[in-house]
Chains A and B, each alone.
Chain A
């Protein structure tokens, strides 16, 4: 190199110009940025884990709007299954009506009848027995009635025994033990009581009786031999009988099935819009994709209209049995 000249690495040394070096640097940094995940992630927060308080004093503010419509339900299956079903059903109602709905879970030992009657919930999917009680106590109205798998808005109850039982008719039940569903259950309690009463058997004529939490529990109680007979919904009883697990000794008449009831204070326009949405509900067709196992419910084919007179007979029986306090 001639004396008096300084080596300029930016210009000609090794043939790399300043622009080339800059490009190389940018490429290297970009590769590093890509290789390292392009991002540093969420913004970090400082939390003092030693600054503790009593847990009961710490409450998150509510994140739901106060004007949400509250929907309750009669427990029928495993609670999380019920919740998943009705949450998906509420997404349908929200899309159809434009209202926001929130699911209310009545605690174990709580009463959906009271929740609905006192306005804790605005709408509820309830059985006929619960409805009779709620109407009697709080003036609750039935909006629509459910359609079962056969497309009927009525259902029946069965009286079942073990297949090796000596009980062959309702009359044989005198002096025997019997399992019923929950006291508010129509198919598990009210209708079997009607069936017994129509042959002259009252509770006092039984050797023993008890209320289970569900039709399944009632069936288990009979099949295990803990009770001589049990009153359960027709669909489950027929399925068990077809498999040879139980024997059906009596079949009831048809009575109005479960439906969607509404608190009397809900504004009429909201009632009407929700009623129309329920009548438009198509769980086997158009609306099926948004639903979660809706066929497990007592209204797998949707809903139909309802009349108050449909419930007169059942109301009389319920009063007679002291179910309407």
Chain B
């Protein structure tokens, strides 16, 4: 500050000195112009001396004439040789100031062209000594005042700074503690100013951080639990084992001691818990759980996890769950798939407050995973069952092929072979008689001819049984009529035909499928139904064709037969006659259903013991 003041004031004083010198030079030059032009140099000399005497700070003055010679000057004993060249004014300028360092101090040489366009110059030397003396005095004064002000200001600033920065320091240390994770420490609020507001904001921020961290931890716990559940549900294990592992993982993740899982069958009926954990090995309890209606249904109806406070009728009430606690309530998590209840996951508790909203949310997520696992397991089971049935069907086909070969072989052996053997005997007899009795010979030949004709008819029958050429040549209805004639009418069963719509030729695979379905149905009627009358209805529609075969025979329990097939209760390796018949009928039904489904059609069988059977197949056309 003192330096700035020194420089600024010094520059201002020098500028003022220059301005004063220029004004004096201009005035003096105007007064010197006439005597200078008239070469009255004595006048010029006196004017310079008067100016030096009257103007303060003027160290010297001199005039250079039009010819470059010194006209007048104020030096007493000659003129300084270097001075005449020290400040030469360029022609395009009228003034020029040059700072000179001399043994008399710093001198500002003010050069002034006497008249613009003429080479004559007036120079006045202004000494800065007086300015510098004044400047030194002023600077000393300013330095002293500045030093005093600095000491006083520094002291005041220190006191004020300590007063102002102490709360800030406290706040900074508290903020550092917050940054190090001590979020539970509150910053004391000592004032209502900005610092107090900042402290309050820090406290609010810490609270928010705590809440956020808690949420993150909770979320992390949920994710860990879900991960554990996912691990438990993975792997090609049986559903029961998978659910047991999932239940344990759920209890570990939620911190509860006991729980169980109930599954419902397709009719919604309870079954004993498929798994449980933390409960005493008490089958009575488990069976009770199955048989007694429970408030768990409320959760299923609401389709969300709920906390059930147990009533006195609930078999789980009071069941010990360790650590001297008993079941007083439980959380029920519905296990749902496509809105359909698969079962419930129950987590036992001692008091309802243990089940927080977060716990219920987590249990809901776990329930979702369990539902998917159960649904998948059931779908896999269904798939496995169908695969097994398909294998059995294949086995039946192979057996049927063998049976058909046996039948053809037997018919060829019993009838065709015998007929041919008889034909050989007749022909031998004819040969023997040809030389003795031509009439007899002709009778033998006629007999042989008749035998050959019968044999050919038998062979035709065998061939038609394999695949009637009528089906390929004339279509579905003629083939079915031929089959009904051979399979039913020959056995005295009346056949009533009911054909709707215009008969058309169907795609070959459709005609074949419907023929085989009808052939199987008629075979079953002939073998098992003991029917007197059969109604065959064929309906031709633009989009589909329907074949329905109804009889008034003994009928049978469809569900039982199918269930036995599904549950493999039939021992195929050592079948009894009755069992063999059931297997044959069952596999025949499955074969018909398989043929219809392969073409995108529907197959239905309706039968009641004592009230006949109706088989319906509907196959779409294109």
Q: Which residues of A contact B (CB under 8 A)?
A: 32, 35-37, 41-56, 58-64, 78-80, 83-84, 87, 90-91, 103, 105, 107-108
Contacts and interface: CB of A to CB of B under 8 A. Distances in A.
Contact of B70 (A45, A58, A84, A107): A58
B11 A52 contact: no
Contacts, number: 124
A87 B116 contact: yes
Which residue of A45, A54, A103 has the most chain B CB atoms within 10 A of its CB atom? A45
Interface stretch (B48-56, B76-84, B187-195, B569-577): B76-84
Pairs A-B, 10 closest by C-beta atoms: A52-B78, A60-B68, A36-B7, A80-B33, A37-B11, A55-B70, A79-B37, A87-B117, A44-B99, A55-B79
B83 A49 contact: yes
A47 B64 contact: no
12 contacts: A41-B14, A45-B98, A45-B100, A47-B86, A47-B107, A48-B82, A50-B80, A52-B81, A53-B78, A59-B67, A62-B119, A80-B37
A103 B118 CA distance: 8
A32 B4 contact: yes
B425 interface: no
Nearest to B10: A36
Contacts of A53: 78-81
B362 to A, nearest CB: 42
B101 A46 contact: yes
Give the secondary structure class of A's interface: loop
Given A47-B80, A52-B75, A83-B118, A108 B101 contact: no
B102 interface: yes
A87 B100 contact: no
Contacts of A35: 4, 7-8
B147 to A, nearest CB: 19
Interface in B114-128: 115-119
Interface string B28-64: 0000011001110000000000000000000010001
A45 B86 contact: yes
Contacts of A54: 78-79
A84 B101 CA distance: 36
A51 to B, nearest CB: 5
B103 A60 contact: no
A58 B102 contact: no
Interface in B259-285: none
B127 to A, nearest CB: 11
Contact of B117 (A43, A44, A55, A103): A103
Contacts of A80: 33-34, 37, 115
B119 A42 contact: no
A59 B67 CA distance: 8
A60 B100 contact: no
Nearest to A78: B34
B73 interface: yes
B8 A36 contact: yes
Given A32-B4, A36-B8, A79-B37, A47 B69 contact: no
B113 to A, nearest CB: 11
B528 to A, nearest CB: 98
B99 A41 contact: yes
B500 to A, nearest CB: 98
B66 interface: yes
B163 interface: no
A108 B38 contact: yes
Contacts of B99: 41-45
A108 B39 contact: yes
A192 to B, nearest CB: 27
Task: Tell which of A45, A47, A56 has the most Cβ of chain B within 10 Å.
Answer: A47
B64 A60 contact: yes
A60 B104 CA distance: 24
A36 B4 contact: yes
Given A36-B8, A46-B102, A52-B77, 6 more contacts: A37-B11, A56-B69, A58-B70, A60-B88, A63-B119, A80-B115
A49 B101 contact: no
B459 interface: no
A60 B101 CA distance: 21
Contacts of A55: 70, 73, 78-79
A48 B86 CA distance: 11
Chain B interface main SS type: mixed
B69 A59 contact: yes
Interface in B367-423: none
A90 B115 contact: no
A37 B37 CA distance: 40
Given A42-B97, A59-B68, A49 B117 contact: no
B91 interface: yes
Nearest to B83: A47
A83 B37 contact: yes
B38 A107 contact: yes
Nearest to A107: B39
A51 B30 CA distance: 31
Given A32-B4, A44-B100, A79 B34 contact: yes
Contact of B68 (A42, A44, A45, A61): A61
A52 B60 CA distance: 13
Contacts of A63: 68, 88, 91, 119
A60 to B, nearest CB: 4
B101 A45 contact: yes
Contact of B80 (A52, A56, A103): A52
A74 B85 CA distance: 34
A107 B99 CA distance: 35
B172 to A, nearest CB: 11
A47 B80 CA distance: 8
B84 A58 contact: yes
A47 B68 contact: no
Contacts of A79: 34, 37-38
Contact of B100 (A47, A52, A105): A47
Contacts of B81: 51-53, 58
Contacts of A56: 69-70
Given A61-B68, A107-B39, A48 B102 contact: yes
Nearest to B5: A35
B271 to A, nearest CB: 67
A52 B74 CA distance: 12
A259 to B, nearest CB: 23
A45 to B, nearest CB: 6
Contacts of A43: 99
Contact of A46 (B88, B100, B115): B100
Interface centre among B75, B86, B100, B107 (most CB of A within 10 A): B100
A87 B80 contact: no
Contacts of B37: 79-80, 83, 105
Contact of A36 (B11, B83, B102, B115): B11
B46 to A, nearest CB: 16
Contacts of A83: 33, 37, 115, 118
A53 B80 CA distance: 6
Nearest to B121: A60
Contacts of A42: 97-99
B116 A37 contact: no
A78 to B, nearest CB: 7
Contacts of B84: 58, 60
A87 B119 contact: no
A35 B1 CA distance: 11
Contacts of A91: 117
A32 B11 CA distance: 13
A70 to B, nearest CB: 12
Contact of B7 (A37, A52, A58, A107): A37
A41 B69 CA distance: 29
Interface in B331-366: none
A107 B38 CA distance: 6
B414 to A, nearest CB: 111
B207 to A, nearest CB: 27
A56 B65 CA distance: 12
A90 B117 contact: yes
Contacts of B116: 87
Nearest to B82: A47
